[in-house]
Amino acid sequence: MAKAAKTAIKKDPKQAAEAKNYSKVIKAVRSPKSGAYTFKEVIVHKDKVKDFLEGK
């Protein structure tokens, strides 16, 4: 599936330039009920990564 997405971006240089402004962020969150860790994955704009990690 990832190959198809990369191919689609290569066809349109404008989309490729915009895609570089986003990052996939993975945050480990501890469950209050069981104490186990879960992972929250989000794709955010590169300017808002710190806000996501701080929990804002």
Residue owning tokens 């069981």: 34
Radius of gyration of the chain from Cα atoms? Answer: 15
Find out whether 39 and 18 touch, Cβ atoms under 8 Å: no
Alpha helices in the chain (DSSP H): 2-11, 13-19, 49-54
Q: Which pTM value belongs to this model?
A: 0.60
Considering only residues 34 and 9, tell me which one the structure prediction assigns the higher pLDDT. Answer: 34
The per-residue pLDDT for range 13-54, each reduced to its tens digit, is 777 777 788 999 999 999 899 999 999 999 999 999 999 888
Backbone angles phi, psi at 55, to 5 degrees: 90, 20
Structure confidence at residue 7 (pLDDT): 58
